[in-house]
Amino acid sequence: MGIRGAKAALQLAESSLIDAIAKHGEDHAVEYPETAYELPAVYAWDGREVHRLGDIRPLLDDYSSRLRGEPTVENALAAGEATMIAAEVIEALRYAEDVHPYEGTGYSGFIPDKLLRELGVALVDDTIPGVAVLVGKAPEPSQLVSIVRDLQSKGMLIIATYDTIDQLRDADIKMGLGMMLYPVGTGTQIVHALNFAIRGALSFGGVQRGDRETLRAYLAKRPKTFVLQFGPLDDIMVGAGLAAIFNGAPLLTDQNVDEVPGALVSVSPEKMVQTAIELRDIRVKLAPVDIPVAYGPAFEGETVRRPDTYVEAGGAAKTPSFELLRLRPEDEVEDGRISLIGRDVDEMDEGSSTALAIIVDVYGKKMEEDFEGVLERRIHQFVNYAEGAWHTGQRNLNWVRLSRSSVNAGLRFKHFGNILITKLKEEFGGLVSRIQVTIVTDEDEVLKRLPEAMEAYGRRDARLAGLTDESVDIWYTCSLCMSFAPDHICVITPERMGLCGAINWLDARASKEIAPRGPNQPIDKGECIDLIKGQFAGVNEVVYEASHHKIERFNAYSLMEDPMTSCGCFEVIVAMAPDMQSVVVVNREYPGMIPLGMKFSSLAGSVGGGRQTPGFIGAGRKYITSRKFISADGGLLRISWMPKELKENMREALEARARELGEPDFVDKIADETVTTDAEGLMEWMAKVDHPALRMPPLLS
């Protein structure tokens, strides 16, 4: 069946190619949008370059010629590869015809690189422990819904294909690129599940074009993908299933088939998830949370819009609201206690606003005041994991909404206590042994407690202001991403957070207390080799060992000489501009061209994977306004271009740092896409505004 499916897919690809060439000619461009890897399956497994329609014919001819001989397991896997290549071509031809071929269909189609990078930290720290691909049509839709809820509760990323999409949609299961449940499409669209996993190896693992052996070894470990197939099989579906097995993803089916141990398994639907977890040696970290709605990372990207809101607090609701986590003496914390002061949601009118305070008191022998903010920031994430609960902001600038459907299902503010006690103990059990939560909705009481919160925020800010790279002897490593990027190691300092933007020096210090052998290990800086560039003997030794002897020297403050490597989940890229006089900064959300003649996705392909690339670094957004931002190369005043949205979002912090540097008007001298997206236009702009980088020595001398 798989061999027949491969032949059918190749014939369909050939027919589609003939039509496309007849319409557009052989020189018509062909590529997926927002990716550095052209046609990723071809790029990774085959290695040849495909940029135009004329490049495709020899590819198809080659794979068609391989489908000969008896139907053996080896030939079946070759058929799987051929099916994957054919499906990749068919889908790429759709994008060559229309940049948005699935707009209005309810299918997401190709999953862009930026989404893979956004999920980077969650993939590497096992918040997302695996990727489940749903194929076929479940005999019982309710059973499919139960499987999806189970996968979501375990934190799995889910990619739905074929009829499972309609079955889930009919059951009102929310899907989309913000929900960790991606309805890529039916038929050959299943290839978007495969090329998503493949790009994990290319983006994070440094796997090079056409390096089949390294790619195969990588996919055997990460990401831990598996396929759940329901209902009757057809030839192309089987070919696609063999393609999954070829990519290291076992196929579990509810059909009666001859099994291939570890690769093709026949199993009843109710046992599928557990069997897949065992096959891929997946370790589920999420503890069950006792609330009346679904709970898991899948809902972190869910948005509760105003028409769907039952009640809201803070933010645009303009009601007093804050959240505070406090270290308290042992005798002041009753473990597991949840208190509510004021009315809960079921006593409020639909569409109303309320005051809200979320106060978490903790005690633990290893807990310190410096860790309060570390734990407090997780309130945002933990509340968002509840289906129908939306949280943004922090401290006294938070904003919370509960959806009408979640309230109807029984979700209450008091359940925030269940969530926070369970999750804080799960993730910070090494620091805290007792937790109690107080939820306040009475406005007078919220206002009464607010001054204490403001005083606590002020104390923290004062402590953090004095925390500099020079004021400490210990920096920290972060090796979370080494499972994806084996040769990369992050070095975290008080003034330079992890390039993913998620872990700062205090986070790393707290992590070390929680897990002494975990991903964050202390570095004794040792002898200072170069104070300006930020090079220390102790740091060099650690980086050399952690990079498997690939990186000998590391400069914390230089872009141009021995910079830090990148894994692939960076928030922004800082790159030397073509004039070699300035740098551009681009964030992964920006889809357009930059003055280097490429887009973020293409640039990211050459920066990640644990390579040390002088002139280019990945970074967290907040590093841009750090006093140590490429300070050896001119610092903030080197920036000549950044996307408008990024610039405006960071304007307040950028302007504050520019004033410190004596350039109060500097931010308006930074060009963006409304000014120019090419190198020549950027140089003209810099001359026009008298950009300070023009008065600095060239980055390359």
What are the structural domain ranges in the chain?
2-97, 113-279, 303-457, 474-695
pLDDT at residue 501, rounded to an integer: 87
pLDDT for 520:
92
CB 439 within 8 A of CB 413: yes
Greatest CA separation found in the chain? 80
- 463-502 burial, b for 16+ CB within 10 Å, e for fewer? eeeeeebeeeebbbbbbbbbbbbbbbbbbbbbbbbbbbbb
474-695 has which fold?
A: 3.40.1470
Cα separation, 404 vs 308, in Å, equals: 6
Q: Are 414 and 389 in contact (CB under 8 A)?
A: no
- Architecture in CATH of 2-97: Orthogonal Bundle (1.10)
Going along 301-388, which residue ranges are E strands? 309-314, 321-327, 338-341, 352-353, 356-363
Amino acid 454 reads M
Q: d(Cα 301, Cα 311) in Å, to the nearest integer?
A: 19
Distance CA(192)–CA(188), nearest Å, equals 8
What's the pLDDT at 306?
94
Contact 97, 190 (CB under 8 A): no
Cα–Cα distance list, 224 to 43, 74, 123, 416 (Å) = 21, 23, 9, 31
d(CA 568, CA 114): 10
Q: What pLDDT score was predicted for residue 291?
A: 96
9 and 236 Cβ atoms separated by less than 8 Å:
yes
Phi first, then psi, for residue 82 (nearest 5°) are: -65, -40
Task: Provide the token pair at 431.
Answer: 């620091």
Check if CATH label 3.30.565.10 holds for domain 303-457. Answer: no
User: What does the DSSP 8-state code read for residue 518?
Assistant: S
Does the pTM surpass 0.75? The reply is yes
Separation CA 184–CA 159 (nearest Å): 7
Count of other CB atoms within 10 angstroms of residue 141:
16
Task: Find the angle CA(62)-CA(66)-CA(72) to the nearest 5 degrees.
Answer: 160
Helices 235-246 and 191-204 pack at an angle, to 10 degrees, of 10
User: CA angle, 494 as apex, 490 and 498 as ends, to 5°?
Assistant: 30
The series of mean pLDDT values per 10 residues for the chain, 701 residues long, is: 95 97 97 92 96 97 89 90 98 95 94 88 83 96 96 94 97 89 94 94 88 94 94 95 96 94 95 96 86 92 93 94 97 97 97 98 95 94 95 94 97 98 94 97 98 95 89 94 84 94 90 88 97 97 93 95 90 94 95 93 83 92 96 98 96 96 97 97 97 95 73
CATH of domain 113-279: 3.40.50.2030
CA distance linking residue 526 with residue 81, whole number of Å: 51
Q: Which two tokens stand for residue 457?
A: 């925020």
Cα 329 to the center of its chain, rounded Å: 37
Closest CA to 84 of 189, 182, 163, 14: 189
First to last CA, the chain: 62
The C-alpha atoms of residue 222 and residue 249 are separated, in whole angstroms, by 10
The whole-angstrom separation of Cα 135 and Cα 160 is: 7
Residue pair 285/123 in contact (Cβ under 8 Å)? The answer is no
Give the integer Cα–Cα distance in Å for 119 and 124. Answer: 9
Number of other CB atoms surrounding residue 100 within 10 Å: 11
